[in-house]
């Protein structure tokens, strides 16, 4: 359904992005932000799913500045490799990868002719939260189990767009008490928790939880329908 194109960030950096188009006129655009495994088959499947629901989906390669062409699986070695790339991206001078997300938002707006939402998973959830707080042109943001979102530093940010956040109750990376602190700090954010583990949305991981993934997606689509189109 989709194909890779090149986006151009504000500093001239070329960023590959997987773009999936709906059958008819898009209802709006959705930027899909990868985990630490690259724009792999799962992220492309997620983008295809949003296209099937009527949105123009754009999934930028957020590792491009440190390692082009990353596409990993979910074994321990893949996780270690991806974490290394994520650490390198996080160490880039500001604005770093955020300008790549802005390029994806701008492309989604231009090509869809509508409003734009953003959804991200794991590290992509953290980037989605940062995008909601710092970038322009977003109508809604949905971070899934964003590692780091509930830290005091990140929770101190203020979103400029409506946010719906999904967390996992059995997530050893994101303690539930920090989720509750985040909920108290941000009464304007719709926070949902699920009886599931980190990565519950990914059907290629052992932590996949079909019921939680389905419910979270229903809530996400309703949120995008309300705010994006």
pLDDT of residue 109 exceeding 80: yes
The average pLDDT across 61-73 equals 97
Q: How far apart are CA 53 and CA 146, in angstroms?
A: 24
Find the largest Cα–Cα distance for the chain.
Answer: 44
What does the pLDDT look like over 175-224, one tens digit per residue? 999 999 999 999 999 999 999 999 999 999 989 999 999 999 999 999 99
Buried/exposed code over 2-34 (b: 16+ C-beta within 10 A; e: otherwise): beeeebebeeeeebbbbbbbbeeebbbbbbbbb
Q: How far is the first Cα of the chain from the last one, in angstroms, to the nearest whole number?
A: 21
Q: Give the model confidence (pLDDT) of 119-139 as tens digits.
A: 999 999 999 999 999 999 999
Distance CA 130, CA 170 (A): 24
Give this prediction's pTM. 0.98
Residues labelled catalytic: 122, 171, 198
Q: Distance (Å, rounded) from C-alpha 148 to C-alpha 154? A: 7
> Is the pLDDT reported for residue 1 higher than 80?
no
Looking at the chain, the whole-number percentage of residues with pLDDT higher than 90 is 99
As a whole number of angstroms, the distance between CA 112 and CA 118 comes to 14
Write the CA distances from 211 to 72, 119, 206, integer angstroms. Answer: 25, 19, 14
């Amino acid at each position: 359904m989709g194909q890779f194109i090149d986006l151009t960030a504000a500093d001239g950096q070329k960023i590959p992005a997987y773009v999936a188009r709906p059958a008819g006129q898009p209802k709006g655009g959705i930027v899909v932000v990868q985990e630490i495994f690259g724009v792999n088959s799962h992220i492309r499947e997620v983008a295809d799913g949003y296209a099937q629901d009527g949105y123009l989906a754009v999934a930028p390669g957020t590792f491009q500045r440190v390692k082009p062409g990353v596409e990993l699986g979910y074994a321990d070695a893949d996780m270690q490799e991806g974490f290394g790339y994520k650490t390198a991206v996080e160490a880039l001078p500001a604005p770093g990868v955020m300008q790549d997300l802005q390029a994806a938002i701008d492309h989604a707006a231009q090509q869809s002719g509508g409003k734009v939402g953003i959804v991200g998973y794991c590290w992509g959830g953290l980037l989605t939260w940062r995008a909601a707080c710092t970038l322009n042109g977003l109508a809604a943001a949905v971070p899934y189990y964003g590692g780091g979102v509930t830290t005091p530093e990140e929770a101190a940010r203020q979103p400029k767009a409506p946010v719906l956040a999904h967390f996992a109750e059995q997530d050893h990376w994101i303690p539930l008490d920090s989720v509750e602190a985040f909920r108290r700090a941000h009464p304007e954010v719709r926070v949902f928790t699920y009886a599931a583990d980190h990565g519950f949305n990914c059907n290629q991981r052992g932590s996949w939880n079909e019921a939680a993934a389905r419910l979270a997606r229903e809530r996400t689509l309703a949120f995008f329908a309300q705010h994006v189109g």
